[in-house]
Amino acid sequence: MSFWNKNKETENEQVSEPGVGKVKNIIAIASGKGGVGKSTVTTNLAMALSEQGHKVGVLDADIYGPSQPIMLGSHDGAQSNDGYAIPVKSNGVSFISMSTVAQQKGPTIMRAPIALKILNQFLTSVMWGELDYLLIDLPPGTGDIQLTLAQQAKLTGAIIVTTPQKVSVEISQRGLQMFQQLNIPIIGVIENMSGFTCSHCQEVTAIFKEGGAANMCQEFDVPFLGAIPLDPLIMMSSDEGRSLSEDKEGHAYQAYQKVAESFAHQLESSAANKMLEVE
């Protein structure tokens, strides 16, 4: 029985077969620790990729603390067709989250085996359709949820999110090393909260130091995808479920556009290298 069987069935909905069979790239976005803005990065990267013409989905894998409905700007429940869930769409992004299939207030209280079962349904019983990218917003840590998704989702690769300071970088390295041990390619590292630009004098202050992600990339020989500034506009747009495209001249919007381009380019380069190796 599907977890969302109780949801309203759609009428005359054109849907494809369930699962991720038509998803070109499944990308895990991880941090190893909480508090680095990983979910915010996932949301804004997804919207940036969508604005660049890609078909994008987000799987919110944080069962106990889902945040994507807030940041993507929709609290609609996922409808179902013949027992399979249809993702909610907002800001050009299709997404599924615990909040979209179990619309209840208060904490999600369940044991790990049930949470893992729900995640498996997110992969196999959702009508994801044709997507260029499915971004999986992982919870912090390197435990059961991360291992299950790494083993079952047939990941194309992983992105590591960190903030610049030493304590964040060192813990994020553990997430990076976990994927390496599982033979999952590291697409690159994104440095979040990289610097604050004063709106009056335009001086940049490195509140959380600087260069931590770049140093990690050099140490582990993985690509650096770019830096995202510490910008109040990111907080406000995330709280209100709006795209940063409302201020296309802003530092935050420009930064995410560059990271999205770097991410797509890195994937294309990796795919080309694999083809050469096969030949």
The per-residue pLDDT for range 186-230, each reduced to its tens digit, is 999 999 999 887 777 777 777 788 889 999 999 999 999 999 999
What pLDDT is recorded for position 209?
81
What span, in angstroms and rounded, lies between the C-alpha atoms of 227 and 83? 41
When the pLDDT of each residue in the chain is averaged and rounded to a whole number, the result is 87
pLDDT greater than 50 at residue 126: yes
Mean pLDDT of 133-162: 89
Contact 98, 139 (CB under 8 A): no
Reading the block at residue 165, the tokens are 């300071």
Give Cβ neighbours of residue 107 (< 8 Å, ≥ 6 apart): 64
Confidence class of residue 162 from pLDDT cuts 50, 70 and 90? very high
pLDDT of 29 reads: 96
Query: In angstroms, what CA-CA distances link 167 with 22, 134, 208, 278?
Result: 39, 29, 10, 40
Q: Comparing C-alpha atoms, which of 107, 99, 29 is closest to residue 68?
A: 99
Of the candidates 236, 222, 255, 184, which has an alpha carbon nearest to the alpha carbon of residue 25? 184
Window from 115-119, 206-210, 233-237 with minimum mean pLDDT: 206-210
**CA nearest neighbour of 246 among 44, 81, 5:** 44
Which among 112, 133, 166, 169 has a CA at the least distance from the CA of 28?
Answer: 133
Q: Is 203 exposed, middle or buried (0-12, 13-18, 19+ CB in 10 A)?
A: exposed
